[in-house]
Structure 1
Amino acid sequence: MTAPWGTYRLTRFPEDPRDRLRAWDAADEYLLRHLDGGTGEVGPVEVAGRAVTVLGDRWGALVTALAGRTGTLTQITDSYLTQRATRANLDRAGVAPDAVRLLSTQDAPPERIDVLVVRVPKSLALLEDQLCRLAPSLHAGSVVVGTGMVKDIHTSTLKLFETILGPTRTSLAERKARLIFTTPELQEEEPANPWPLTYTLGPEAGAGPAEGLTVTNHGGVFCADRLDIGTRFLLAHLPPWRGPGLIADLGCGNGVVGTALAKHSPEVDVIFTDESYQAVASAEATYRANASRRPGLAQFVVGDGLADVAPGTVDAVLNNPPFHSQQATTDATAWRMFSQSRRALRKGGELWVIGNRHLGYHLKLRRLFGNCELVASDPKFVVLRAVKDR
């Protein structure tokens, strides 16, 4: 990536030499050029000696370029993988580990923000939640600059900036990227944050074992106000677990699948794991609201899937793999999840997968496990089961 202060070699995480997806895009470069020299419409932003917070940095591109040029520098992200990539990119650039404060979206935000840089996320709910959390840290002299590709900045995006922070306008487009300029207005009362959202699943959801569960969704977690149809289809065909066992809800989201299984199979222990801090916080809240009296234990892990789980220790893995990594459509995440599952499963352990039927997950599972059973299907989804038999 080329920035006003030099050229940086950046990678995503996990690092894969075959991966042709970049760790930055034109929106990152546009914003960095603006901070240094302005856009022509708006002058440059002074960051030296100031408290700069970067929200939504995709793979650490922005903080890597800004490191050493600000007073304090903080990155806030919902992604564990982004934090791992950021550490690697900072190290590659020769930046000291303590030069950038790495926070998650669940951590307390900085008390003071002089310059807020926002990389617009895919999820409007996550943007709303984070702007509400950060607004009290802004002051009359704060500068707010957002960036994103044109296709990701909508009227609803600008309305959130305007409603929560203050008057907002955009730049001209450059290489299909656009900037957002907001002038913070101090408010007598902190903006009301609608997140997290809590609701109860009723019989109209067709949820089977999930009926009656109280569900919590923090901003940015998939399908915030209802049970998505894929999860509903999986739950309708997922049998209760007989006896004790260790079950992993991989890519747990709000934890509905693992919680439903735990409620109906009280002897199992469940690992809820996701790379999203918002998701794991949601899963823990969902589980605590429904399964506090059951004897089985639960672990809540923000991380790289099952990478840190001891091999051969898990009895079953439940997985609804995403086919997006940040904004890119890819099957690399699903392949990694399936590979991690096989490693974590004991002999005879089972991987249960729900996915869109057109994605062809059965081919990957047969290649990895040597077997794959079609448990159920409809015009949109398939439920697949693979057994580790060796």
Structure 2
Amino acid sequence: MKPELTLHARTLRLQRYPARNNDTLQAWDAADEYLINHVKEADIPLDPARPILILNDSFGALSCWFANDGKVTTVTDSFISAQGCKANLAENQLPEVNIIDGLAELPQNPQLVLMKLPKNNRLLVWQLQQLCQLLPADCKVIAAAKARDIHSSTLKLFDKHLGETKTSLAVKKARLIFCQANPELAQPLPAPQQWDVPEHGITLSNHANVFSSDSLDIGARLLLEHIPSGSQYQDIIDLGCGNGVIGIKAARLNPQANVVCVDESYMAAASARMNAEANLETPSQLTATVNNCLDNFPAQSADLVLCNPPFHQQAAITDHIAWQMFCDAKHVLRGGGKLIVIGNRHLGYGGKLKRLFGNVTVIAQNNKFVVYQSDK
């Protein structure tokens, strides 16, 4: 891995979060470089008294670069990205920036918006509508992504929800999008998407960046059928909770249990809280929090961990998140506690669980997914 970003006779030392030995992935990409180079070479004047908004900064490369140029506010839905940004600011001895989640109120009168395109178009529309309500006439919006991820449909979303849009040529397989806000396009932010899971008597609401926006994904559907119940389950964790449907079902099956939903997405945790209020007789039975897996959870503090691991971080496909989830689950489980995991068949989680716990059982499967159980 190359840990130093050097541009315009300046070097930043940047790492992904959490830092891992022999990490082969960089903490920035060509789209970050293109944004930095454009702002520098276009000689865009920056007023230190006005906010610079940075959206979807993966690990803080943009926040670090512009930290000295204005009142930087970084908007992210990712706890891991926020922690990476803080760590990289500290590593480079830069001033703190204001880091907020995507549901927070944006600062007034920004002078410049720099955006990395999110993978989720629903989140992109949410952010464009936020900006359209906020931006003054002189504020420039510059977005960036890999060229392959900028489609004509992407540009139409900018045109529809923010204003007139132009694009750059591709450089190192990245492109820029230039947009100016048109206040006539401003409209109220969309309400969370709502839909029913009638076979379980659950109504779910999803904020914009939560996985499976308008229906129950087939992995969760299978896992819902295999959540255990019993008086031995006093403390249950739904790890990688998304909208909280697994935790809500576990809470209903185990009314004596305290259920903690954990996700790295602020919008996921907020959705889980909202859905607990709507679907549980005692909503306080379930709490939801953002975290990097189970960092700082006490050892031997849970009887059951339910887990639907992601297999990507930002745009990178990786299995290290699943491995950390499994290791953290073993750490927090009491003796005799259970970890129940669902994963795509091709991911081969069974071998990892057997190596870690010394045992693994397949408790359900279909043509795409497998549900595993390991006991501590």
TM-score with structure 2 length normalisation?
0.95
Task: Classify 1:86/1:5 alpha carbon distance in 2 versus 1 (closer, same or farther; 3 Å).
Answer: farther
1:182-331 correspondence to structure 2 within 5 Å: 182-187=179-184, 190-203=186-199, 211-242=200-231, 245-291=234-280, 293-294=281-282, 297-331=285-319
Query: What's 2:58 paired with?
Result: 58
Asked if structure 1 preserves the Cα contact closer than 8 Å seen for 2:131 and 2:181, the reply is: no
1:53 partner letter = L
Report the Cα distance in structure 2 between the residues aligned to 1:258 and 1:340, rounded to whole angstroms: 18
Report the Cα distance in structure 2 between the residues aligned to 1:289 and 1:296, rounded to whole angstroms: 12
Task: Classify 1:309/1:270 alpha carbon distance in 2 versus 1 (closer, same or farther; 3 Å).
Answer: same
DSSP 3-state at the match of 2:13 = coil
Task: Classify 1:252/1:215 alpha carbon distance in 2 versus 1 (closer, same or farther; 3 Å).
Answer: same
Report the Cα distance in structure 2 between the residues aligned to 1:127 and 1:295, rounded to whole angstroms: 31
Asked if structure 2 preserves the Cα contact closer than 8 Å seen for 1:200 and 1:213, the reply is: yes
| Aligned-pair CA distance for 1:5 | 5.5
DSSP 3-state at the match of 1:8 = strand
Residues 328-385 of structure 1: per-residue CA shift (max 9 Å, x gap): 0000000000000000100011000000011010111011101000101111110000
DSSP 3-state at the match of 1:342 = helix
Residues 185-224 of structure 1: per-residue CA shift (max 9 Å, x gap): 122x732332411122124xxxxxxx22110100111100
Query: What's 1:208 paired with?
Result: none
| Aligned-pair CA distance for 1:237 | 2.4
Asked if structure 1 preserves the Cα contact closer than 8 Å seen for 2:111 and 2:139, the reply is: yes
Percent identity, please.
Answer: 41
Query: What's 1:159 paired with?
Result: 156
Task: Classify 1:373/1:286 alpha carbon distance in 2 versus 1 (closer, same or farther; 3 Å).
Answer: same
| Aligned-pair CA distance for 1:319 | 0.3
Task: Classify 1:182/1:163 alpha carbon distance in 2 versus 1 (closer, same or farther; 3 Å).
Answer: same
Report the Cα distance in structure 2 between the residues aligned to 1:336 and 1:8, rounded to whole angstroms: 28
Asked if structure 2 preserves the Cα contact closer than 8 Å seen for 1:24 and 1:59, the reply is: yes
| Aligned-pair CA distance for 1:162 | 1.2
Asked if structure 1 preserves the Cα contact closer than 8 Å seen for 2:132 and 2:182, the reply is: no
1:126 partner letter = L
Asked if structure 2 preserves the Cα contact closer than 8 Å seen for 1:262 and 1:296, the reply is: no
Asked if structure 2 preserves the Cα contact closer than 8 Å seen for 1:2 and 1:29, the reply is: no
Structure 2: 5+ residue stretches without partners: none
Task: Classify 1:37/1:305 alpha carbon distance in 2 versus 1 (closer, same or farther; 3 Å).
Answer: same
| Aligned-pair CA distance for 1:236 | 1.8
Report the Cα distance in structure 1 between the residues aligned to 2:191 and 2:168, rounded to whole angstroms: 30
Asked if structure 1 preserves the Cα contact closer than 8 Å seen for 2:363 and 2:371, the reply is: yes
Residues 34-60 of structure 1: per-residue CA shift (max 9 Å, x gap): 00113xxxxx42224332100000100
Aligned length: 371
Residues 70-97 of structure 1: per-residue CA shift (max 9 Å, x gap): 2x11100011111111111111111133
Report the Cα distance in structure 2 between the residues aligned to 1:295 and 1:155, rounded to whole angstroms: 43
| Aligned-pair CA distance for 1:318 | 0.4
DSSP 3-state at the match of 2:94 = coil
1:51-200 correspondence to structure 2 within 5 Å: 51-70=51-70, 72-97=71-96, 100-187=97-184, 190-200=186-196
Structure 2 residue 40 is the aligned partner of structure 1 residue 36:
yes
Asked if structure 2 preserves the Cα contact closer than 8 Å seen for 1:111 and 1:137, the reply is: yes
DSSP 3-state at the match of 1:96 = coil
| Aligned-pair CA distance for 1:269 | 0.9
Structure 1: 5+ residue stretches without partners: 39-43, 204-210
Query: What's 1:41 paired with?
Result: none
Given the alignment, which residue of 21, 24, 32 partners 1:17? Answer: 21
Asked if structure 2 preserves the Cα contact closer than 8 Å seen for 1:266 and 1:296, the reply is: no
Query: What's 1:206 paired with?
Result: none
Structure 2 residue 353 is the aligned partner of structure 1 residue 365:
yes
DSSP 3-state at the match of 1:20 = coil
| Aligned-pair CA distance for 1:295 | 7.9
Asked if structure 2 preserves the Cα contact closer than 8 Å seen for 1:240 and 1:261, the reply is: yes
Report the Cα distance in structure 1 between the residues aligned to 2:23 and 2:123, rounded to whole angstroms: 27
2:372 partner letter = L
Asked if structure 2 preserves the Cα contact closer than 8 Å seen for 1:30 and 1:177, the reply is: yes
Query: What's 2:342 paired with?
Result: 354
Query: What's 1:377 paired with?
Result: 365
Given the alignment, which residue of 296, 311, 327 partners 1:339? Answer: 327
Asked if structure 2 preserves the Cα contact closer than 8 Å seen for 1:195 and 1:217, the reply is: no
**What stretches of structure 1 move > 3 A for 4+ residues in a row?**
241-244
DSSP 3-state at the match of 2:335 = strand
Residues 153-212 of structure 1: per-residue CA shift (max 9 Å, x gap): 12222122111110001100010000000011122x732332411122124xxxxxxx22
Report the Cα distance in structure 2 between the residues aligned to 1:24 and 1:59, rounded to whole angstroms: 7
Task: Please tell me the root mean square deviation across aligned C-alpha atoms, in Å.
Answer: 1.5
1:150 partner letter = A
DSSP 3-state at the match of 2:183 = coil
